[in-house]
Amino acid sequence: MSYLLPHLHSGYAVDQAILGEEERVVVLRFGHDWDPQCMQMDEILASVADQMKNFAVIFLVDIGAVPDFNTMYELYDPCTIMFFFRNKHIMVDLGTGNNNKINWAMNDKQEFVDIVETVYRGARKGRGLVVSPKDYSTKYRY
């Protein structure tokens, strides 16, 4: 499903996407198009892109083709989602301890829309850290 979403093919394009959007949240998915976890996340992203077009814009970045951000954002996971608003990285407290990014594939479309909407509302108020509507600390039940 990654062919339905816009790709950014250079570090400059990523920077311009973040800098150029003033009114909406920029959602960046870092990963590989061929990775099964990314394919699952891309399906969610493609299905909600139209629903979120008023407050968010989604871009895909292949970490193999654009390695510029791998060390800066610690992109070691197969699939990573990050949020930016007005050239500022917006952190999300998901209860996992890592507030910088979502590093797993979401299963529920509405959950993802709720997170992006929370990011948008918090970022518009000037907050750099927003609390997720759902706590993901118990995602893995042992």
The 10s digit of each residue's pLDDT in 66-102 is 988 888 888 988 899 999 999 999 999 988 888 899 9
Cα distance between residue 65 and residue 10, in whole Å: 8
SS3 per-residue string spanning 95-125: CCCCCCCECCCCCCHHHHHHHHHHHHHHHHC
User: Distance of alpha carbon 51 from its chain centroid, rounded?
Assistant: 16
User: How confident is residue 139, by pLDDT bands cut at 50, 70 and 90?
Assistant: low
Half-sphere exposure of residue 20, counting CA atoms within 13 Å on the CB side?
8
Going by the DSSP 8-state scheme, the letter that residue 28 receives in this structure is: E
Give the pairing of strands 25-31 and 7-8.
unpaired
Helix crossing, 36-48 with 109-124: angle to 10°?
A: 70
Q: What is the pLDDT of residues 4-58, one digit of tens each?
A: 889 999 999 999 999 999 999 999 999 998 999 999 999 999 999 999 999 999 9
3-class DSSP assignment, residue 34: coil
Q: In terms of Cα–Cα distance, which of 79, 142, 68 is closest to 107?
A: 79
Query: Which pTM value belongs to this model?
Result: 0.91
